[in-house]
Structure 1
Amino acid sequence: MQIVKRIGVVLLWIAGPVFVFAGINNNDPYFVPLRGAGNILLVAASAAAVLMLLRRDFLSRRGWSGRLLIVLWCLPLLGITVSRATLVLRERSILEAEPALARTLGQHFIVGYSSFDEVARLAERGLIAGVYVTRHNLAGRTADELKAEIAALQGKRRAAGLPSLVVAADQEGGIVSHLAPPLTRLPALASLAELSEDQQKAKAEEFGRIHGQELASLGINLNFAPALDLRPEAKRNRLDFNTLISQRAISDDPAKVGAIATAYIRGLESAGVDATVKHFPGLGRVRADTHHFRADLDTPVDELEATDWRPFRDVLSTTHARLMVGHVAVSALDPGRPASHSKAVIDGLIRKQWNYQGIVMTDDLVMGAIYQHNVCTAVVEALNAGVDLLLVAYDGLQFYRLFACASDAAERNALDTAMLRASETRLRRARMVD
Structure 2
Amino acid sequence: MHFLRRIGLILLWLAAPVVSFAAVNKNDPYLVPLRGAGNIVLVVASIAIVIILIRGERWRSIAGKLLVMLWCLPPLLMSVAHLRFELRRHDVLSASATEARQLGPHFMVGYSSFPEVARLAERGLIGGVYVTRHNIRGRTVEALRAEIAALQDKRRAASLPPLVIAADQEGGIVGHLAPPLTKVPALATLAGLAPDDQQSKAEEFGRIHGRELAGLGVNLNLAPVLDLKPPVRRNRLDFHTLIGQRAIATDPAVVSTIASAYVRGLEETSVGATLKHFPGIGRVRTDTHHFSANLDTPVRELEATDWIPFREVLSHSRSALMVGHITLTAVDPDRAASHSKRVVDGIIRDKWGYQGVVMTDDLVMGAIYQHDVCKAVVEAINAGVDLLLVAYDGAQFYRIFACALDGSRQGKLDAAMLRASEARLEQGFPTAQARAASSPMRVVDKDQPFAN
Query: TM-score, normalised to structure 1's length?
Result: 0.98
1:3: Cα distance to partner?
2.2
Structure possessing the higher relative contact order (Cα contacts under 8 Å, 6 or more residues apart): 2
Which residue does the alignment assign to 2:10? 10
Partner AA of 2:209 in structure 1:
H
Specify the code of the residue in structure 2 equivalent to 1:317.
Answer: S
Q: Which residue of 2 aligns with 1:342?
A: 340
* CA apart distance, 1:234: 4.3
Counterpart secondary structure, 1:398: helix
- Aligned position for 1:21: 21
Partner Cα distance (2:162, 2:257) in 1: 32
Q: Counterpart of 1:370? A: 368
**Alpha-carbon distance, 1:56 to partner:** 1.2
Larger deviation, residues 66-75 vs 189-198: 66-75
Letter in 2 for 1:35: R
**Partner letter of residue 45 of structure 1?**
A
Q: Percent identity?
A: 66
2:55 paired residue number: 55
* Distance in 1 (alpha carbons) for counterparts of 2:308 and 2:319: 15
Aligned equivalents of 2:35 and 2:412: distance in 1?
A: 34
Q: Which residue of 2 aligns with 1:215?
A: 213
User: 2: distance between equivalents of 1:244 and 1:376?
Assistant: 28
2:73 aligned with 1:75: yes
| SS of equivalent residue, structure 2 residue 344 | helix
1:51 maps to amino acid: I
User: Which of these residues, 268, 280, 290, is aligned with residue 270 of structure 1?
Assistant: 268
The 5-angstrom pairing of residues 56-135 of structure 1 reads 56-60=56-60, 62-63=61-62, 65-135=63-133
Shift of 1:187: 0.2
Partner amino acid, structure 2, of 1:396: G
Amino acid at match of 1:7: I
Contact kept in structure 2, 1:296 and 1:336, CA below 8 Å: no
Given residue 262 of structure 2, which amino acid in structure 1 is its aligned partner?
Y
TM-score (norm 2): 0.94
Query: How does 1:216-295 map onto structure 2 within 5 Å?
Result: 216-295=214-293
Corresponding residue to 1:390 among 388, 391, 411: 388
**1:48 deviation in Å?**
1.6
Structure 1 moving runs of 4+ over 2 Å: 431-434
Q: Deviations over 1:321-372 (max 9, x none)?
A: 0000000000100114110001111011111111111000000000000001
Please provide the CA RMSD for this pair: 1.1
Shift of 1:25: 0.3
> Which one of 420, 423, 426 corresponds to residue 421 of structure 2?
423
Q: Which amino acid aligns with 1:8?
A: G
Secondary structure of the structure 2 residue equivalent to 1:296: strand
Q: CA deviation at 1:2?
A: 2.1
Q: CA deviation at 1:409?
A: 0.6
8 A Cα contact 2:232 2:244, kept in partner: no
Equivalent position to 1:330, from 307, 314, 328: 328
| Aligned-partner residue type, residue 50 of structure 1 | V
Corresponding residue number in structure 2 for 1:38: 38
Once the two structures are superposed, residues 183-236 of structure 1 have per-residue CA deviations (whole angstroms, 9 ceiling, x without a partner) of: 000000000000000000000000000000000000000000000000001401
Q: 1:307 aligns with which of 305, 308, 319?
A: 305
The size of the alignment, in residue pairs, is 432
